[in-house]
Amino acid sequence: MRKNIFILSLVAIAMAFTGCYPHKQVGLLQEGKKMPVYDSASYQPYRLQVNDEVIYRVITMDETIAKTLLANNNNSANSQYANSYRIYSDGTVDLPFLDPIRLEGLTELEAQDTVRKYMRELIPDADVKLALYNKQFTVLGDIGSGVKYVYKDRMTIFQALAMTGDLMLTGDRRHVRIIRPHGNEAPEVLEFDIRTKSIIDSKYYYIYPNDLIYVSREPSSFFKQSNYSSFLAIIMSSVSLLITVLNYIPNLPF
Share of the chain above pLDDT 70, in %: 71
| 14 plus 106 within the same structural domain | no
82-97 tens-digit pLDDT? 568 999 999 999 998 8
For the cut 70, the answer to whether the pLDDT of residue 55 exceeds it is: yes
- Tell me: do 161 and 224 sit in the same domain: yes
> What pLDDT, on the 0 to 100 scale, is given for residue 147?
94
Residue 105 lies in a domain: yes
Residue 16: inside a domain, yes or no? yes
State how far the Cα of 199 lies from the Cα of 174, in Å rounded to an integer: 12
- Contact yes or no for 196/37 (Cβ under 8 A): yes
Question: Does any domain span residue 3?
Answer: no
Does the residue 227 lie in any domain?
Answer: yes
The answer on 169 and 61 residing in a single domain is: no
Residues 185, 197 within the same domain: yes
- Cα–Cα distance measured from residue 197 to residue 60, given in angstroms and rounded to the nearest whole number: 49
Amino acid at 125: D
Give the residue from 81, 103, 132 where a domain finishes. 132
Q: What is the separation of C-alpha 145 from the centre of its chain, rounded to a whole number of angstroms?
A: 10
Q: Is the pLDDT of residue 103 over 80?
A: yes
Q: Domain boundary residue among 117, 132, 147?
A: 132
Could you tell me if 24 and 59 lie in one domain?
no
Is 116 found in the same domain as 24?
no
Range of the domain at 74: 53-132
- If asked whether residues 237 and 158 sit together in one domain, one would say yes
Pick 220 or 208 by higher pLDDT.
208
What's the whole-number mean pLDDT along residues 1-10? 53
- 3-state class (DSSP) for residue 228: helix
Same domain for 178 and 247, yes or no, is yes
- How far is Cα of residue 22 from the mean position of the Cα atoms in its chain? 24
Q: What does the buried/exposed string (b/e) look like for 128-146 if buried means 16 or more CB atoms within 10 Å of the residue's CB?
A: bebebbbbebebbbbbbee
- The span from the CA of 54 to the CA of 84, in Å, is 5
Question: Is the pLDDT confidence value at 58 over 70?
Answer: yes
Q: Give how far the C-alpha of residue 225 lies from the chain's centroid of Cα atoms, to the nearest Å.
A: 26
CATH number of the domain within which 117 lies: 3.30.1950.10
pLDDT tier at 76 (50, 70, 90 boundaries)?
Answer: very low
| Overall domain count for the chain | 2
Q: How far is CA 75 from the centre of its chain?
A: 45
Classify residue 178: in a domain, yes or no: yes
Alpha-carbon span 193 to 205, nearest angstrom: 11
**pLDDT tens track for 157-202:** 999 989 988 788 889 999 999 999 998 889 999 999 999 999 999 9
Residue 228 within any structural domain of the chain: yes
Residues 21 and 112 in one domain: no
At 166, the amino acid letter reads D
Chain centre to alpha carbon of residue 141: 11
146 in the same domain as 238: yes
Domain assignment of residue 2, yes or no: no
Residue 186 lies in a domain: yes
How large is the average pLDDT for residues 18-40? 83
- Asked if the model's pLDDT at residue 114 lies above 50, the reply is yes
* Angle CA 31–36–38, to nearest 5: 100
**DSSP letters of 143-164?**
TB-EEEE--STTEEHHHHHHHH
Q: Estimate to the nearest angstrom the gap between the alpha carbon of 36 and the chain centroid.
A: 21
| Domain final position from 132, 148, 180 | 132
Residue 219 confidence (pLDDT) above 90: no
Q: Indicate if 246 and 152 belong to the same structural domain.
A: yes
Judge if 145 and 112 occupy the same domain: no
